[in-house]
Amino acid sequence: MERIDVGIIGCGPAGLQAAIHSARKKATTTVFGKGKSSAIYPAHLENYAGLPGKTDGSAFIEAAIAQAESFGAAFVGENVIGASVAEGGFALTVESGRTYLCASVVIATGNSRVKLGVPGEKEFFGKGVSYCASCDCNFYKGRTVAVVGCESEAAASAELMTSYASKVYWICPGVEASKEMEAKALAAGAEMVASKVKEIHGGDRVAGLSLADGREIAVDGVFIELGAKSAADIAMDLDVMPNMDDSIPVDGDCMAAPGVFACGDVTGKPWQVAKAVGQGCVAGMAAADYAKGRADVLQ
């Protein structure tokens, strides 16, 4: 298990600014995630001080990554699929199965829940539609469910649900999770369905899915797991209770609990790059100070 001072979950503006300031304080700093997954990467940046007009989001992210690296930050281009409180700090596990022990953690994953955007999703939320398999798995013992998504969290959720549901469909037109995670989900018994969801339907509760290829699948529950593990899920794994809207409450140092910090969109509105960068600065410095203050624990 690799030991580091500060583990930063998220490779967007908040996480990258946190990495810059953590590394500048000489704390060993590792950023987990994929820059191309940041919401700003395919978009444009506007109304940001010092950058008049529109700035290409990908250029902004790539420049910030290079800047953080120049101060000594390391990057692991994998999503975090597991987090827990551990002796001496916090354990973060990534897609390849590697685990890192961090003295402090910064959660900077952006907006927590990514929506599928199909008919029935909103109507059946809480009536068979869920965005958190680890939260709601117990409600589907012996039932048939579908996990929708192609990245790491979908693979992990598909594997998890095989321990509860009688049948698990993994709806994914093209796998983007690691080969290791895909293999685990399939070996556990999840059935891969290479299509997209067109509609979620039912009566009082979810009864089935209509797929883009014309197939109909009867299910009792649908777990929408798009992208990486959500900020709210990670927070709960680290014994931090998110707000009702899934945002993470923090104090003036961006600390949610001793050793756990959060910054950017995960702390709530406004969802602006300027706010994310400002909180990233605060969280990065505070996380580094916290880690260095308990470095003896990691010896």
All structural domains of the chain with their residue ranges: 2-113+229-298, 129-224
Q: Is the peptide bond before 119 cis (omega within 30 degrees of 0)?
A: no
Segments in the chain forming alpha helices (H): 13-24, 57-70, 133-136, 152-161, 179-188, 231-237, 273-293
Say whether pLDDT at 6 is over 70: yes
The CATH class of the 129-224 domain is: alpha beta
pLDDT at 112: 58
- CATH fold for the domain made of 2-113+229-298: FAD/NAD(P)-binding domain (3.50.50)
Check: CB of residue 65 under 8 Å from CB of residue 11: yes
**With bands split at pLDDT 50, 70 and 90, how would you rate the model's confidence at 294?**
low
State the average pLDDT over residues 86-94: 94
Say whether pLDDT at 36 is over 90: no
Rounded to an integer, what distance in angstroms lies between the CA atom of residue 58 and that of residue 45?
10
pLDDT in tens, 54-89: 889 999 999 999 999 999 999 999 999 899 999 989
191-193 β-sheet, strand order: 129-130, 221-224, 144-148, 167-171, 191-193
State the average pLDDT over residues 79-106: 94
**What's this model's pTM, rounded to 2 decimal places?**
0.78
- What is the largest distance, in Å, between two alpha-carbon atoms of the chain? 59
